[in-house]
Amino acid sequence: MLRFAANVSMLFAEAPFLDRFALAARAGFAAVECQFPYEVPAAEIRARLDDHGLAMVLHNLPAGDWTAGERGLACLPDRVAEFRAGVSRAIAHAHALGVGQVNCLAGIAPPGADVDALRRTLVDNLRFTARAFAAEGLKLLVEPINTFDIPGFFVNRTAQCVALLDDVGEPNVFVQYDAYHMQRMEGELAGTLARHLPRIAHVQVADNPGRHEPGTGEIRFEFLFAELERLGYDGWIGCEYRPAGRTDAGLGWLPAGALRPRWRQAAKPPSISRSAPVTKAASGPAR
């Protein structure tokens, strides 16, 4: 059976960040993912995971100054030291939160930059990260992202990403495949998944257009989920979308049995700390 994780950077945004874990559990999720957890003490997030019986299955490496428009540092030759410092930070958070895989955003190619130099930097940084992660028992993921939402994003197609990982040459590096981004860039989602599934460790879903929940756009998710089942995909599927309304009202697209019914049947909703701030870690969407 396919396994689904709530992205608490984008789902349940009607509540402050730390309260979203309770809402995810009440909705029936057994796991969550998070884009950038670094603005909240890891111990506070860990406590929410433990309190609500949740696993965290993914977060991202630090990706630079988001408010300034940065979307990753890994391909930038003049930011190597900063990127590699972020690797240590990501390892510490992954261990504190029980996360086994961390995603890397390659970054935006500066106008007029030497593409070969950007790619060499990216390969070197990914190899460095993969080796550091391997020593800690972690997987490194790399996500292609569409250039309509993020113009100039350096890694933007599945085959490009797979070729990049071939050059990195480390066994613990995989693709993070986002159906929304790849529908916008290349289509043929089922065929791409079939060709590259051994290289894909994590899948994320949102519909197109609008990046709302599955069933609101053009992607045939029932077919896509059946294909993932047929292919034997055993990773998590991250629900990384912008809910069209309240999150809990838009979960009907999930396959039967995907959620834990005992949480849905709780006698009363979890306590929500309305005074808690919505932090930068939860201000998403991140990309």
Report, as residue numbers or ranges, the catalytic residues: 143, 240
Residue 259: partners with Cβ closer than 8 Å, 6 or more residues away: 4, 27, 28, 29, 251
**Could you give the CA distance from residue 184 to residue 207 in angstroms, rounded to a whole number?**
10
Strand order in the sheet with 236-239: 55-56, 31-33, 3-7, 236-239, 200-205, 173-178, 139-142, 101-104, 59-60
Cis peptide before 171 (omega within 30 of 0): no
**Could you give the CA distance from residue 139 to residue 87 in angstroms, rounded to a whole number?**
12
Residues present in the chain in total? 287
Report CA-CA distances (Å) from 67 to 63, 70, 205. Answer: 11, 7, 25
Handedness of CA 269, 273, 275, 278 (dihedral sign): negative
247 burial level (CB within 10 Å; 0-12, 13-18, 19+) = buried
**Could you give the CA distance from residue 43 to residue 38 in angstroms, rounded to a whole number?**
11
Please report the DSSP string for 39-57 in residue order: TS-HHHHHHHHHHTT-EE-
